[in-house]
Amino acid sequence: MNNRPLRLVFAGTPEFAVPCLEACRASGAEVVAVYTQPDRPAGRGRKLTPSPVKQAALAAGIAVEQPESLKSAEAQQTLAAYRPDLLVVVAYGLILPRKVLAIPRLGCWNVHASLLPRWRGAAPVQRAILAGDAESGVDLMQMEAGLDTGPVLLQRRTPIASVETGGSLHDRLSALGAELLAEGLRRTLAGETLTATAQPDEGVTYAHKLDKAEAKLDFSRPAIELERQVRAFDPWPVAEGEIAGEPLRIWAAQALALDHHAAPGSLLKAGRDGIELACGTGVLRITALQRAGGKRISAADYLNARPDLRRAG
């Protein structure tokens, strides 16, 4: 490489991407611009709010671009004017056309929160938990036109704990992704060309975007599947279910391998340890929940407000 610093453009939007932006800044490369999605309405007042990546970029004094799309010639000319050697993309949320992929001298890298080709797409963290995967990880990938189809440059693996939530795995993979990106940048800045390994054709799965309609718990399903649903959907969209006719948000639950002959959703036991409901197979013990308009509370606190539900096993 020549003596001038690597010119890098970073593209990302949510909190997940912020540690990767910080890794770029700390690498010795020159972060000449940050691309992020346009400000969106957020909160009860629906006030236009900048993305976490935009906030971090502005705090660091980096130029910010927020095009609605990268498909126009004007948007592509703006990007080309930054003369990037490398474009690093982390949970940006916009499709990169072929012409954009061709702008940087070293192409475009993507940090993706799964072990590709498993869980390509928008929600790999939650889908891995829902499926009961034993491990997840992060890939540093050379981008191409397909959805998360490019060759893998570097990979880190991590086990998924039995108590892992969507939030806890998100945070661990965010930090791990930043470490992986930092390694890739360090080796590239040292003059190394990273080996690109094509993804295998077998084992491809797609992590479709989460839909709030998926939050509803179906007690005719096995308890272990419902437990995973509760864990995967913490902190969003949060699982929903009924206890004795009252709709509630379910924040924490545990599957119990217990036999019963009760109808799915029936209340079996309610006490200090939690509220146990019959499932298609096994029992789901709910330990934290939220009433409409209320805060997250323990099952014990809920039962203090509803003593009529207390039932010995």
Closest CA to 110 of 125, 130, 95: 95
Of the two residues 265 and 307, the one the predictor is more confident about is 265
In this structure, the strands spanning 86-90 and 64-65 are: unpaired
> Encoding tokens for residue 139?
């890939």
* Class of residue 313 by CB neighbours under 10 A (exposed 0-12, middle 13-18, buried 19+): exposed
* Class of residue 5 by CB neighbours under 10 A (exposed 0-12, middle 13-18, buried 19+): middle
Does 117 count as an annotated binding residue? Answer: yes
Does 162 count as an annotated binding residue? Answer: no
Local structure of 256: helix, strand or coil:
strand
Residue for token pair 């938990």: 129
| pLDDT for 312 beyond 60 | no
Q: Chain-wide mean pLDDT for the chain?
A: 96
The answer to whether the CB of 267 falls within 8 A of the CB of 209 is no
Local structure of 243: helix, strand or coil:
strand
Q: What share of the chain is helix, strand, coil (3-state, %, to 5)?
A: 30, 30, 40
The answer to whether the CB of 303 falls within 8 A of the CB of 270 is yes
| pLDDT for 311 beyond 80 | no
> Encoding tokens for residue 297?
């509370």
Residues 6+ apart with CB under 8 A from 29: 5, 6, 7, 8, 86, 185, 189
Does 116 count as an annotated binding residue? Answer: yes
Model confidence over 77-134: pLDDT tens digits? 999 999 999 999 999 999 899 999 999 999 999 999 999 999 999 999 999 999 999 9
Local structure of 103: helix, strand or coil:
coil
| pLDDT level of residue 313 (50, 70, 90 thresholds) | very low
| pLDDT level of residue 302 (50, 70, 90 thresholds) | very high
Does 114 count as an annotated binding residue? Answer: yes
CA quadruple 114, 126, 159, 174: dihedral sign:
positive
| pLDDT level of residue 176 (50, 70, 90 thresholds) | very high
Model confidence over 39-55: pLDDT tens digits? 999 888 889 999 999 99
Model confidence over 201-238: pLDDT tens digits? 999 999 999 999 999 999 999 999 999 999 999 999 99
- Counting other chains too, the contacts that 236-244 makes at CB distance below 8 Å and 24 or more residues apart are 236/166, 236/210, 237/210, 237/211, 237/212, 238/290, 239/215, 240/215, 240/216, 241/216, 241/217, 241/265, 241/277, 241/286, 243/267, 243/275, 243/277, 243/286, 243/289, 243/309, 244/306, 244/309
| pLDDT for 2 beyond 80 | no
Domains and CATH numbers, the chain: 7-207 (3.40.50.170), 212-309 (3.10.25.10)
Local structure of 54: helix, strand or coil:
helix
Q: What is the pLDDT of residue 4?
A: 77
| pLDDT for 1 beyond 60 | no
**Which amino acid, residue 27?**
S
| pLDDT for 3 beyond 90 | no
Q: What is the pLDDT of residue 89?
A: 98
